[in-house]
Amino acid sequence: MNKEKILNMLTEKGLTDIIELIEDAESGHLEELELVESVGLLFEESLNKEVIQLLQQLGVKIIYVTDDEE
């Protein structure tokens, strides 16, 4: 999935905070992002994977932290 399609899907779903993360990554203001792997960024698993891959392509280092609830 290309960046434009991802952004369109996020816009349709009203996920402006995720769009802002992508914009921050594009402008170089987001270098690292800590995530709980079991939670991710989005509920929709396939879109979550696409957004994480896009962020990595934009140079964001994804750091997975442990989920203390497991």
Indicate the SS3 state at residue 61.
Answer: strand
The token duo for 16 is 């402006």
| pLDDT value at residue 67 | 72
The residue ranges of every structural domain in the chain are: 3-65
| pLDDT value at residue 62 | 96
Number of Cβ atoms within 10 Å of the Cβ of 7? 17
Ordered per-residue pLDDT tens for the chain, 70 residues: 899 999 999 999 999 999 999 999 999 999 999 999 888 899 999 999 999 999 999 999 999 998 765 4
pTM recorded for the entire structure: 0.88
